[in-house]
Amino acid sequence: MRDSSFNFVASFVGCILLFISISISAQAQSTNGKVYVCNQNSASVTVINGSTFEIEHTVDLTQFGFSENAKPHHTVVEPDGSHWYVSLIGENTVLKFNANNELVARASLEVPGLLALHPKENVLFVGRSMSAVNPPQSFAVLNRANMEVMDEIDLFFTRPHAIASLPTQQHIFVASLSSNQILTTNIESGESELITMDGMNHMFVNFAVSPDNQTLVGTTQMTGKLLVFDIADPLSPTLTKTLDVDAQPWHPVYSDDGKRIYFGNKEGNSITVVDAETMTVKKVITGEGLAQPHGAVLSADNKFLFVSNNHMKMNMMGGGNHSDHSNHAMPKNGTVTVVDTEKLEIVKVIEVGINPTGIGTK
């Protein structure tokens, strides 16, 4: 009897420990949610598990009636992971999907590009694609609930591209690819200010706002710099520092503690890690999978950085450049490079679709 009782208790305790272990494991796997990667030349979006780094699903946009030239460009995700949005350059459309990858709403908008969520209101800001020959001189304001276009706010410059919202206030920052101009707008009051910078055209790629809402950083395609602005007064950004980095810095992202900034360098085939407290380069990461890095996002726990890589130069026979559209083009899948943010080392390379661009996570 004693042995039977002992065995029963041991088995019971073992089951409890196994249940706890499975629960902890499941919780860990769900912590970082999903990462959504736009495959611009594949008309698809790859969905990656943010904790296991495994591909969970590929959303084929042609199955929703869109063409093979849909060109999904950028994606953002609701903070709770309930929905995600993607801009389709080739279809002049912005789509809204739920967490089960079911299409629930859409909006018609000419050559949509980068997307930004309003942090408090049910609003989605939409910029314009840099690939458009003559995009509208405006950015759009969408109702995220029903995807209706609420407004298209006129700008004072051509080729708007970089876009970011200020988390604690009603401000949005938009900058131009064709001129050194930044427009900052209070969406609630309508008050706007246009800032014009001296010197050669930087060609602003994108912005990121620090978690304390005091700093705006912008990456520049032409001059290869990270520009740092004081935005204590959001209507009057003040340039405080210019940091030289690898060629063509692309989409920047801040860590949640505000101590680091990460971005890929498209022509440098590298990732720059910036110490945001000193605004100096902490490390430049190179290695497997990095080929024309484009978008960058951090996992929810900030332990991993995901960077999409176009790999378009490697698609050309004889090493031709990415602007060569000859018959020698050889389609090749792009990658997502996963970086351990503690060790600052590449830990995994995930093959996705052709020409991965924008990347998003909750």
Residue 316 has pLDDT above 80, yes or no: no
> Residues 275, 282: contact at Cβ < 8 Å?
yes
Residue 150 has pLDDT above 80, yes or no: yes
119 band by pLDDT with thresholds 50, 70 and 90 = confident
Q: What is the mean pLDDT of residues 213-220?
A: 97
CA torsion, ordered 88, 91, 96, 102, to nearest 10 deg: -110
Q: In the chain, what percentage of residues exceed pLDDT 90?
A: 76
Q: Which domains does the chain have, with CATH numbers?
A: 37-361 (2.130.10.10)
Q: Which pLDDT value is given to residue 135?
A: 83
Distant-in-sequence, close-in-space partners of 192: CB < 8 Å, separation ≥ 6: 183, 184, 185, 186, 235
Residue 1 has pLDDT above 60, yes or no: no
Residue 14 has pLDDT above 60, yes or no: no
Q: Which pLDDT value is given to residue 169?
A: 66
Q: What is the mean pLDDT of residues 46-68?
A: 98
Instruction: Supply the mean pLDDT for the chain.
Output: 88
Distant-in-sequence, close-in-space partners of 44: CB < 8 Å, separation ≥ 6: 58, 59, 60, 61, 72, 353
CA torsion, ordered 333, 330, 269, 220, to nearest 10 deg: -100
Q: Which pLDDT value is given to residue 350?
A: 98
pLDDT tens per residue across span 253-311: 999 999 999 999 999 999 999 999 999 999 999 999 999 999 999 999 999 999 999 99
Residue 28 has pLDDT above 50, yes or no: no
Name which residue leads in pLDDT, 265 or 322: 265
> Residues 196, 204: contact at Cβ < 8 Å?
no
Q: Which pLDDT value is given to residue 99?
A: 97
CA distance 362 to 351: 21
55 band by pLDDT with thresholds 50, 70 and 90 = very high
Residue 320 has pLDDT above 90, yes or no: no
Three-state DSSP class for residue 218:
strand
Q: How does DSSP classify residue 145?
A: T
Q: Which DSSP string corresponds to 232-268?
A: SSTTS-EEEEEEE-SSSB---EE-TTSSEEEEEETTT
pLDDT tens per residue across span 78-100: 999 999 999 999 999 999 999 99
**Token couple for 311:** 């790999």
Lowest mean pLDDT among 44-58, 61-75, 130-144: 130-144
pLDDT tens per residue across span 176-198: 988 999 999 998 888 999 999 99
CA torsion, ordered 136, 152, 76, 275, to nearest 10 deg: 80
Q: Which pLDDT value is given to residue 6?
A: 40
Distances 208 to 66, 181, 254, 297, 316 between C-alpha atoms, Å:
31, 16, 7, 11, 33
Tokens 């694609």, located at residue: 129
Determine how β-strand 356-361 pairs with β-strand 345-354. Answer: unpaired
Residue 321 has pLDDT above 90, yes or no: no
